Copies of this chain bind each other. A is one copy, B any other.
Amino acid sequence: MNQTEKIGFVGLGIMGQPMSGHLMAAGYEVAVYDLRREAMEIAAEHGATPCASPAEVATLSDIIITMVPDSPDVEAVISGDGGILSGVQRGSVVIDMSTVEPATGQRMADLLSEKGADMLDAPVTGGAVGAQNASLSIFVGGDEAVFARCRPILDVLGASVMYMGRGGMGHTAKLANQILGVTAMLGVSEAFVLAKKAGLDLEAFCEAATQGAGDSWHLRTLGPKIIAGDFDPGFMAKHMRKDMRLAAQTAISLDSPAPVTALIGQLYGALMAAGLGEEGHHAIVKVIEQMADAEARA
């Protein structure tokens, strides 16, 4: 252990487990908590200290990272029973790397501030592969001096660490980024279904379209997977559904209309209803295809 800051890590899921591992490999002492005992046992085998609660993690740590699924989970591990708030030390920092509603993050930051602790919002993109390879992109919001203090830790976890401004701006950037991605995703889906029905060679079209104004990360990366019928999740559809709900909530709270994003959120609802939530978020193309099949039968 050659690092001076002691780290706490709350949430050892598909993202948190490899991320906490990278921190230990980089020489940090890491205290961990997860609802699932077996997840803590895996971390302990790599040298982590398992704790009985987020509060205990906080008492042992200078910097506490939270990486949990959704806004209510962030609230539970910070302000709930046995939460970080009841153990956090003056001068500590909580870095929330979950994707949650900016308003929730702000409430948590205010509560932590009353205890003399700081908060950064640092949601990530890059999915499970990015967590495993430490190649995540991280959007960070919060006090700039606090960011500077935490940057060495974030650099262990991500390839691209981007300061977006005051508290909440990390969450806002992440949601705006999801809007950029999911709209391109639906473009790929509707274009491919139309092109396929018309008899176009999808492989030739995909390659041609990346040359021009139709190009996007989603076309380049997920277009070939859709053509190959590969729906393994880089990012699970159910998580995109959740992010669309967060984007819609945020848009409403800001009086910022997002009609296309709202519609796409509903299409991801149809995806959940079709039982496709555990597939990659590009499985949304199947929802459009199913609508097409229903049209053709009608």
Contact = CB atoms under 8 A, between A and B. Distances in A.
Interface of A: 102, 125-126, 137, 139, 160, 162-166, 168-169, 172-173, 175-184, 186-188, 190-195, 197-201, 204-205, 208-209, 211-219, 221, 235, 247, 250-251, 254-261, 263-264, 267, 288, 291-292, 295-296
Given A125-B212, A165-B199, A216-B216, 10 more contacts: A102-B198, A163-B204, A164-B205, A172-B200, A173-B200, A179-B190, A180-B209, A180-B219, A181-B213, A190-B260
Contact of A259 (B176, B199, B261, B263): B263
15 contacts: A137-B208, A166-B199, A169-B199, A172-B195, A173-B205, A176-B214, A179-B191, A180-B209, A198-B250, A213-B221, A216-B216, A255-B295, A257-B291, A259-B291, A260-B264
The binding surface of chain A is classed by DSSP as helix
Residue in A162, A186, A218, A219 whose Cβ sees the most chain B Cβ within 10 Å: A186
Contacts of A187: 179-184, 260-261
A218 B211 contact: no
B296 A194 contact: no
Nearest to A179: B191
Contacts of A201: 164-165, 169
A181 to B, nearest CB: 5
B257 A267 contact: no
Given A139-B208, A182-B187, A247 B194 contact: yes
Contacts of A186: 183, 260
B216 A184 contact: yes
A268 to B, nearest CB: 12
